Amino acid sequence: QQPVQSPQAVILREGEDAVINCSSSKALYSVHWYRQKHGEAPVFLMILLKGGEQKGHEKISASFNEKKQQSSLYLTASQLSYSGTYFCGTEMADYKLSFGAGTTVTVRA
């Protein structure tokens, strides 16, 4: 049930863009995105509900394709502060989340 994230890692220069994908084989009620800095707890970024909506946080946005059970996280004009590991969490309407293995993002000056 664990969703699959890709890529596993990405290296960016400041100002570049990146896309992180999250896919599930199960029908989803919602997708949650988190960012975790080294040695810290994951921090909630946004939640997307079925219906194909998009949301944004700073210059980070996401989409949810309900038919394909896929979500994508878009990092636009990346900043040094965007470095960290990004996790998607998928919910199948049972109040539990299954998390992907994470995508490590490194932004360099």
Partner 1 sequence: DAGITQSPRHKVTETGTPVTLRCHQTENHRYMYWYRQDPGHGLRLIHYSYGVKDTDKGEVSDGYSVSRSKTEDFLLTLESATSSQTSVYFCAITQRGLRGSSDTQYFGPGTRLTVL
**Could you tell me which residues come within 8 angstroms of residue 65 by beta carbon, excluding any fewer than 6 positions away?**
52, 71
For partner 1, which residue of 20, 42, 62, 90 counts as binding (CB under 8 A)?
42
Q: Rounded to the nearest 5°, which phi and psi values hold at 48?
A: -125, 130
For partner 1, which residue of 49, 63, 76, 83 counts as binding (CB under 8 A)?
49
Amino acid at site 12: L
Choices 13-21, 58-66, 75-83, 100-108; region in contact with partner 1 by CB under 8 A: 100-108
Could you tell me if 89 and 35 are in contact, meaning their C-beta atoms sit under 8 angstroms apart? no
Residues near partner 1 (CB under 8 A) are: 1-2, 30, 32, 40-44, 47, 49, 87, 89, 95-102
